[in-house]
Amino acid sequence: METTDRPDGPAALRGKVCLVTGGAQGIGLAVTRALAGQGAHVHVAALTQHSVESASAKLRSAALESSVTFHLVDVSNRNAFEKCIADAHAAGGRLDILVNNAAFTHWRDVADTRVEDTEQTMRTGYDAMVYGVKAALPLMRAGGGGHIVNMGSAAGVVFVKGPSAAYAAVKAAINAYTQILAGELAWTPVHVMLVRPGTVSGTEFFGKRVPSNRMPRIADFLPVSTPEQVADAILDGLRHRRTIVDVPGYLPLMYRSYALAPQFFAKLASRGGPARRDFAKPANRPSTRTEPQSGSADNAPVTGPGSPALRLLNKLSPGAVRLAQRIVVPLDTALHRHSTGRLSTGRGLGVPSLLLTSRGARSGKPRHVPLYYAPHRDGYGVVGSNFGLLHHPAWTANLLHHPRAVVTTAGRRIPVTARLVEGEEREEIWQKLLELGPAYQTYSDRSGRDLRIFHLQPTAPEAGR
């Protein structure tokens, strides 16, 4: 559930009094900096003196130290956390924003996880959130309104092998609690928002608590966020009084995909072994949020060279290409077929995509393949790149033998006739595809062949079909 602009949404944060738990490192520190940078005074609940000193130095270098007050507190201790909230309220005479961000976790298999660690994960993530909500809510009501922000996670929505079971359970509980609380407080002056980040790189979460190889291999092919991007999304959510914020923007697609076929999704996530990227290293990536897309080929968005999906594909080694074919292609095919083209990895990343159903050149049986496309003359321009492998993909041979095919995209099944293009028209489509992603040039160079380019022109269905 998500609301659009509300007239009572804050136009600015100047003068607001905020409290961020776990606000001295990672996402919490990025949120602290973002709020302080907008003129708010931020109280930070931190567990250790070391994290306070490190955060203070970073805030000092950004000339924000005077806008932040640190409290050494264990938020899983109810009395201590309630006193921290009372102190922050007393210092500013109000409490406008509470961000429940603190977390504790060690990602291990259940058999290797101590009961005490599971309990601490629940106390720090879920119990502390409840303490914070119960202490802050009456203060906000008495003060005329406020914002409660609870930090969930994609791990609390999609359940696959890799994440800690305890961590996923806590985030699932936060997810449920926050959405029900938001419903209870809807249209009141107190706004409640759930934030569900996906993989966030460059934090102590991966640096100290979670080995990157606990992530599934498919995570190597998906965009990650930075703490600053999550913080920016939170500020945007506060301004627009959103009830759910998912970062990066492809996550709702992933959640719907998982809901459609959880067993298939779990099986897919288990293929290829563990991730190979080091998620502890910072990654600078542009926002991956996308706007709703039209079903018309001419209106489909064409992202430039900055598209995270195609930038990543540009770097794939032949071994990674084979893995992408085993993981990404079956996932994309399943998404298209289950949703009639409304869902796909490409659409989730802002890349126009379709599912092509052709007839096998030899078997005559239906063959499905997901493709990115460039809008061209009321139809679709597609290329047989095959990730830069030496041979032409099978679907191009299918179209040469049987030009009649079907395109599935944006909830529609569209009969098309395929035509292999040459000359100026080929160059025209090729340039559009290169604007979509320069990876295609890499594929052409790597393959050593002339990539087949087709124009898929919508046509009337054949009689009897």
Q: Is the pLDDT of residue 11 over 50?
A: no
Q: Are the beta carbons of 45 and 20 closer than 8 angstroms?
A: yes
pLDDT of amino acid 176: 98
Bigger pLDDT: 239 or 443?
A: 239
Least confident range of 40-49, 169-178, 349-358: 349-358
pLDDT of amino acid 326: 65
| Rama region for 420: left / alpha / beta (φ>0; ψ in -120 to 50; rest) | beta
Q: Is the pLDDT of residue 56 over 80?
A: yes
Strand ordering across the sheet containing 97-100: 68-72, 41-46, 17-21, 97-100, 146-151, 190-197, 244-247
* Cβ partners under 8 Å of residue 389, min gap 6: 318, 321, 447
pLDDT of amino acid 292: 30
Determine which helix (DSSP H) or strand (DSSP E) holds 183, and give its type and residue range: helix 165-184
pLDDT of amino acid 85: 98
Q: Could you give the residue ranges of the DSSP H alpha helices within 270-342?
A: 308-313, 318-339
Determine which helix (DSSP H) or strand (DSSP E) holds 44, and give its type and residue range: strand 41-46
φ, ψ (nearest 5 deg) of residue 291: -85, 160
- In angstroms, what CA-CA distances link 274 with 165, 216, 262, 351? 17, 5, 19, 26
pLDDT of amino acid 293: 32
Integer Cα distance of 15 and 34 in angstroms: 14
Supply the mean pLDDT for the chain. Answer: 85
pLDDT of amino acid 283: 64
Query: Which class would CATH give 308-458?
Result: mainly beta
Neighbours of 264 (CB within 10 A): 15
* Span 203-220, average pLDDT: 80
- 223 three-class SS: coil
Give the burial string for 185-205 (b: 16+ CB within 10 Å, else e): beeeebbbbbbbbbbbbbbeb
pLDDT of amino acid 296: 35
Question: Which percentage of the chain shows pLDDT scores above 90?
Answer: 59
Selection from 144, 99, 418 nearest residue 234 by Cα: 99
Residues in the chain: 465
* Span 270-292, average pLDDT: 63
pLDDT of amino acid 72: 97
Q: Is the pLDDT of residue 422 over 60?
A: yes
- Beta strands 17-21; 97-100: pairing state: parallel
For the whole model, what pTM was predicted? Answer: 0.69
pLDDT of amino acid 266: 79
pLDDT of amino acid 277: 81
Integer Cα distance of 440 and 442 in angstroms: 5
Q: Are the beta carbons of 172 and 150 closer than 8 angstroms?
A: no
Residue 4's pLDDT band (boundaries 50, 70, 90)? very low
List the catalytic residues.
167
261: buried, middle or exposed (CB in 10 Å: 19+, 13-18, 0-12)?
middle
* Span 403-431, average pLDDT: 94
Least confident range of 101-105, 182-186, 329-333: 329-333
Bigger pLDDT: 456 or 339?
A: 456
**pLDDT tens-digit profile of 94-132?**
999 999 999 998 889 999 999 999 999 999 999 999 999
* Cβ partners under 8 Å of residue 14, min gap 6: 38, 39, 40
Can you give the residue ranges of every domain in the chain? 17-252, 308-458
The matching CATH number, chosen from 3.30.365.10, 3.40.50.720, 3.60.110.10, 3.20.80.10, for 17-252 is 3.40.50.720
- 177 three-class SS: helix
Integer Cα distance of 80 and 99 in angstroms: 17
Q: Is the pLDDT of residue 171 over 70?
A: yes
